[in-house]
A and B are shown apart, each in its own frame.
Chain A
Amino acid sequence: MSSRPALDPALLSHLISAQRLEDRRGRRGSGIATLDRLLGGGWPRASLCELIGRRSSGRTAILYAALARAIAAGEAAALVDVGGGLDPRRAFAAGIALRRLLWVRCAADVAAKAADLVLGAGGFDLIALDLGDERPRLPAAGWIRFKHGAEKQGTTVLVAAPARAAGSCAAAVVQLGPGAPRFVADGAPLFDGLQAEATKGRGAHEHGPESEEARCASLAFSCRS
């Protein structure tokens, strides 16, 4: 009776389980390799996700990286921008093909309604709702509506806000710590970028035990103004 031939270790390292393959297909690249590793492949598709951070935490950079990645992949993407803080030159520099980004600048009180309209149109793969400095004031029913809308349309709704609000409706949560700015001090100081700690929060679909190291990552952001 012949024994089962052993797989080449080099080949073995490339094998992944069918369950993990499915999980990988259900993720969209965040555009940042470190963040992809933290999230287990990227932001989950067809779900509501939260990105929490205060001013200068790199929150907007992460949002733009996700938008750039989606547009580069030929997907339809929209940005609902409270206060209209988008800088088109820097958004372009971040990799966003501007003509292919639906940009809705609005006040905080109509942001959820605007995002809901875009979600209802269907066909958008990523909708980024950037609340700026505004704390989300949406009732629980509103978040449930977003969650179901995202599932139905196959859209990732990525909400960037200074504080958590979606609760159990969010499938993935990334909390950014305060950014530590880097200044190059060769003579007069020059702002070079910042470093921020990203922590994966408990999303609705994530229940397994994870070490503290696996839930945290350090993100470096560069400033090439």
Chain B
Amino acid sequence: MRIACVFVPQLALQAVLRRTPEARGGPVAVLEAGTNKAKRVARVTETSPEARRAGVRAGMTGAQASAVSAGLRLLTVTAADREAASAALADVGYAFAAAIERGDADRIFFDSEDLARLYPAGETAIAQAVQAVAARVGLGVRVAIAASKGVARLATRAHELALIPTAAGPARAALASIPVELLAEGEPDLAAAFRRWGLRAAGDVAALPVDAIGLRLGPAGARAGRLARGIDDEPFVPRLPDDALEEAIELDYPVAELEPFSFVLRGLIDRALTRLRERSLACAGLTVRLELDPRGVDVRAVPIAAPTGDAATLLQLARLDLARRPPAAPIVGVRLLALPARVRATQLDILRPAGPAPDRLAATIARLAALVGPDNVGAPAVEETWREEAVAVTTYEPSRPDDRGPLSLTLSPLRGARANGGGDPQLTIRRWRPPEEIEMLLNRQGPAAFRGRETTARVLIAAGPYRLSGEWWKEGEHFQRAYWDVHASDGAVYRVHQNERDGRWYLDGYYD
């Protein structure tokens, strides 16, 4: 088995630079406060190469670092930044393997043996491809490929790109030049012991018998001795990716307006989509978790009609949701959960037009909903009632093959005739909702004249009454009406009705 180890040096710095990409290429230092009382003053922990060249060193206070380098940007790293960078690193692994092992926050392992067929140029091409993908998600990584996890991990401590042979002899030779400080990283006592013995590099340690090192320095020493010889028995435990992908940010100050918050959201969406894209996935669902100032959380699921990889669409949907239901307090932190999904190619119908793209349609419906209200956009539907003015709105389904509503049996022959252009066109009624109350003047035959808010006319011909009643089985909803079709003096044919329970007249609409 060949194991690839991907390591992010200076994770805190890289996590901060993912959040503030405009700072890349300049002198940047990460400030972190110590946990105990004596070390509470924030000090520089990690620096960019430009800052190091300017003389900024780890351990300096912010004031000292600024004094050394005038253009230095001092940035603080948050837990959200670290988590997001670590998750992005995991996605780099998932771009190459179905399952990976997440070691520390700054390191992942995956099996690279299967990639040989994809990259016939060899392991160098694999390592370079990993570095390219990592660069796209905003991470600069070191990659090493070896026969075991420990050896690959050791190689990434010393080299940007390392390929350690599987055979013990060549592996030992490849590791020989690595300093003992890196061989015993995280164990300063062990490194000091090696130094005392006059050992400078892993090759020197490999020359000593492992049993003898173990006898004098304990299990850690023996492990270092075996590692220097290219021998490691640490098991590789890969696991599948999480269901959702997370990107988060903690803001320096509360944001109360949508416009500046959109910039924050755009960055998060861009980063999440870049990670999804590297895994050939799209976003099928978006959950935005807002941390409010001074306390409280606002969680909202942004509906997405179809999986999309378009950042503008997702941002628009999230913005519209926020505009429709603004958070109760200013926002101090955001966590974005993107649900990955495979984008399936749709087979278009050879005989039918393609219709609107699902993701653009979803964004358009969301924008329309923001403009006219969510209850006013969709597909019209017949309500299960005898009230003529009743109407419902349901989900618009452009690709639905055909209607199978309750009316289809009775009206389908007529529909077929109309759709083919045969027969007289069917008149409809343009309705006022709710029906407009009018004053009606009656004669012996029925309606003679009426006066409404905008319409006043004499009745030339009145056809009716057509009596309709229903819903007597519902408390307070019983209706009993007498409908008339009246040809009015303004030329229109109106549909009016009298509520026979209270005698009032209403204008329902006009035939058109």
For chain A, the bracket of interface size reads: 35 or more
Say which residue of A54, A72, A118, A220 sits within 8 Å of B364 (CB atoms). Answer: A118
B462 interface residue, CB < 8 Å from A?
yes
Identify whether the interface residues of B are mostly helix, strand, loop, or mixed.
Answer: mixed
Within 8 A of A (CB), among B349-387: 349, 351-357, 360-361, 363-365, 367-368, 371-372, 376-383
- CB pair A56–B355 under 8 Å, yes or no, is no
Within 8 A of A (CB), among B395-447: 395-398, 400, 402-403, 405, 407, 411, 414-433
**Chain A residues with Cβ under 8 A from B428's Cβ?**
60-61, 64, 86-87, 90-91, 93-94
Which of A11-19, A167-175, A182-190 lies on the face that meets chain B? A182-190
A99 interface residue, CB < 8 Å from B?
yes
What is the minimal beta-carbon distance from B443 to any residue of chain A, in angstroms?
A: 14
Residue of A nearest to B462 (CB): A189
Residue of B nearest to A95 (CB): B418
A121 interface residue, CB < 8 Å from B?
yes
**Chain A residues with Cβ under 8 A from B364's Cβ?**
117-118, 120-121
**Chain A residues with Cβ under 8 A from B391's Cβ?**
84, 86-88
- CB pair B421–A191 under 8 Å, yes or no, is no
Given contacts A56-B510, A121-B361, A194-B427, contact A99 B376 (CB under 8 A): no
Given contacts A61-B427, A64-B426, A69-B421, contact A98 B379 (CB under 8 A): yes
- CB pair B396–A31 under 8 Å, yes or no, is no
- CB pair A219–B379 under 8 Å, yes or no, is no
Residue of B nearest to A54 (CB): B491
User: Digit string of A26-40 for contact with B (CB within 8 Å is 1, else 0)?
Assistant: 000111110010000
Interface centre among B428, B429, B511 (most CB of A within 10 A): B428
- CB pair B356–A122 under 8 Å, yes or no, is yes
What is the minimal beta-carbon distance from B392 to any residue of chain A, in angstroms?
A: 8
- CB pair A99–B396 under 8 Å, yes or no, is yes
Say which residue of A93, A183, A189, A190 sits within 8 Å of B415 (CB atoms). Answer: A93
**Chain B residues with Cβ under 8 A from A124's Cβ?**
355-356
**Chain A residues with Cβ under 8 A from B381's Cβ?**
88, 98-99
Give the distance in Å from the alpha carbon of A29 to the alpha carbon of B420 in the complex.
Answer: 9
A221 interface residue, CB < 8 Å from B?
yes
- CB pair A97–B425 under 8 Å, yes or no, is no
Given contacts A31-B425, A58-B425, contact A123 B354 (CB under 8 A): yes
User: Digit string of B330-353 for contact with A (CB within 8 Å is 1, else 0)?
Assistant: 000000000000000000010111
Given contacts A179-B491, A189-B461, contact A95 B414 (CB under 8 A): yes
What is the minimal beta-carbon distance from B171 to any residue of chain A, in angstroms?
A: 58
**Chain B residues with Cβ under 8 A from A92's Cβ?**
382, 403, 405, 407, 411, 415
What is the minimal beta-carbon distance from B128 to any residue of chain A, in angstroms?
A: 39
Say which residue of B357, B427, B432 sits within 8 Å of A222 (CB atoms). Answer: B427
Say which residue of B417, B433, B493 sits within 8 Å of A191 (CB atoms). Answer: B493
Residue of A nearest to B454 (CB): A133
Give the distance in Å from the alpha carbon of A107 to the alpha carbon of B422 in the complex.
Answer: 34
Give the distance in Å from the alpha carbon of A188 to the alpha carbon of B462 in the complex.
Answer: 9
Given contacts A110-B371, A181-B461, contact A84 B376 (CB under 8 A): yes
Say which residue of A73, A97, A103, A181 sits within 8 Å of B493 (CB atoms). Answer: A181
For this complex, 20 residue pairs linking A to B, each with C-beta atoms less than 8 Å apart, are: A31-B419, A32-B425, A60-B428, A60-B512, A74-B353, A86-B380, A91-B428, A94-B418, A94-B426, A95-B414, A95-B418, A103-B396, A104-B372, A110-B371, A117-B368, A120-B364, A123-B354, A181-B461, A183-B487, A189-B462
Chain A: residues with CB nearer than 8 A to chain B? 29-33, 36, 54-62, 64-65, 68-69, 71-76, 83-95, 97-107, 110, 113-114, 117-118, 120-125, 132-133, 178-179, 181, 183, 188-191, 193-194, 219-225
Chain B: residues with CB nearer than 8 A to chain A? 349, 351-357, 360-361, 363-365, 367-368, 371-372, 376-383, 388, 391-398, 400, 402-403, 405, 407, 411, 414-433, 454, 461-464, 485, 487, 490-493, 509-512
